[in-house]
Structure 1
């Protein structure tokens, strides 16, 4: 299985392109890093690759077919700021199961405690919230995970725990991971291939 972007171009208005003629491919089970200076379009590209934004030029395909418009999205994106990615009016159990049932082994690996499930988002720390967002993104239908500065805001121990869990689950299920980060050490440690945005 392959996630492929061909000749991708994106602009918010006609006068300035964020990027153009961009090609990118990732296979099942592969971990690919994307690095580049701030403002070069990495987050926008992540949103295009996961179907949150529609490219102005080019195609994004999964197994040679367009990304699905309805139902569970097999390409999941985890953002840098978890508090912006959850509904503040839902308890965490509802947030967690928004896209379907989540595997108990995954919750254990990520260190999600049972007592957190009954809490509201504002009752959890950033690290606790991000564990939920990662678990939600790793539903059984996920084939590719795009981690956009996923652990940048977290302490080193929490970062290590989350990445250990994500890599283990990805290995078991052959999930491809796109790691977008400014942290060179993280990219070097996790990724078999690195793409630099200019």
Structure 2
């Protein structure tokens, strides 16, 4: 079976507005520098790197929130690199994104049910109430949750609303961008367990962006390490943790905090 994503020679440069001269165009910064990789159907790919590595920018190129400067991005065999919005619209239901901060992506004036229904109505899905109920059930919420507002929910619950919005459209691919970074350890575990179950039960493909290798190790099957817009290492998760090849990967591994022995044995 062919890969769901095929990426070749991916470049992206953006204008540096902080250095823009008064009467001439802003100089451009190269963010992504010739990336080549693929994402197999059904896998959970971890995309890891420090701040400024380009991992979130890469994610936005995959779901075409950003248009690459050069290279090719193919989704299910179709070249979407420079596809116009009219051509992207039929595909948007097939790839979805979950954002880092649910409070910034969820309209605080709308109840949970309306928030989940909005993308369904946008894509002309039939029987919206049934699909909302299905999404709530899949993320482990009672149906009464549809009447709640985002400010009435915990951080973990809000993130599950974001997941429900994404899966309501029954996509093939989900991009999750740092979605557990602001959660406590217990809420992180609940969200990771949920994602793992959804990938298995719904046949999803997932790209999970994080700066935290311990989270990547818990969830992902393969890891791609970015540094300054380039892939410095790519390997199955067990192999990468057992024998990292790149010096930068070793630095990231060394930065993982060790557990407190007093807490472990308490």
Instruction: Give distance in 1, aligned partners of 2:132 and 2:39.
Output: 25
Any conservation in 1 of the 2:93–2:169 contact (CA below 8 Å)?
Answer: no
Any conservation in 1 of the 2:133–2:143 contact (CA below 8 Å)?
Answer: no
Among candidates 65, 88, 94, match of residue 69 of structure 1: 88
Among candidates 8, 11, 15, match of residue 13 of structure 2: 11
Instruction: Give distance in 1, aligned partners of 2:214 and 2:133.
Output: 30
Any conservation in 2 of the 1:106–1:169 contact (CA below 8 Å)?
Answer: no
Deviates more, 1:90-99 or 1:28-37: 90-99
Distance apart, 1:106 and its partner CA: 4.9
Structure 2 equivalent of residue 98 of structure 1? 118
Q: Give the secondary structure class of the aligned counterpart of 1:53.
A: coil
Counterparts of residues 178-189 of structure 1 (less than 5 Å) = 178-189=207-218
User: Which runs of at least 4 in structure 1 moved beyond 6 Å after TM superposition?
Assistant: none
The higher radius of gyration belongs to 2
Distance apart, 1:99 and its partner CA: 2.4
Instruction: Give distance in 1, aligned partners of 2:45 and 2:151.
Output: 33
Structure ranking higher in helix proportion:
2
TM-score, with length taken from structure 2: 0.68
Evaluate the alpha carbon distance shift between residue 15 and residue 140 of structure 1 in structure 2; reply closer, same or farther with a 3 A threshold: closer
Instruction: Give distance in 1, aligned partners of 2:93 and 2:74.
Output: 13
Q: Report whether the alignment pairs 1:120 with 2:139.
A: no
Distance apart, 1:88 and its partner CA: 2.6
Evaluate the alpha carbon distance shift between residue 111 and residue 154 of structure 1 in structure 2; reply closer, same or farther with a 3 A threshold: farther
Instruction: Give distance in 1, aligned partners of 2:192 and 2:133.
Output: 17
Deviates more, 1:103-112 or 1:72-81: 103-112
Structure 1 equivalent of residue 33 of structure 2? 20
Q: Give the secondary structure class of the aligned counterpart of 1:98.
A: helix
Among candidates 43, 58, 79, match of residue 45 of structure 1: 58
Q: Give the secondary structure class of the aligned counterpart of 1:152.
A: coil
Q: Give the secondary structure class of the aligned counterpart of 2:119.
A: coil
Q: Give the secondary structure class of the aligned counterpart of 1:52.
A: coil
CA RMSD of aligned residues (A): 1.9
Unaligned runs of 5+ in 1: none
Any conservation in 1 of the 2:138–2:164 contact (CA below 8 Å)?
Answer: no
Q: Report whether the alignment pairs 1:57 with 2:70.
A: yes
Structure 1 equivalent of residue 200 of structure 2? 171
TM-score, with length taken from structure 1: 0.90
Distance apart, 1:6 and its partner CA: 1.7
Distance apart, 1:73 and its partner CA: 2.8
Instruction: Give distance in 1, aligned partners of 2:119 and 2:72.
Output: 25
Instruction: Give distance in 1, aligned partners of 2:138 and 2:9.
Output: 38
Deviates more, 1:147-156 or 1:84-93: 84-93
Unaligned runs of 5+ in 2: 16-26, 81-86, 121-127, 228-266
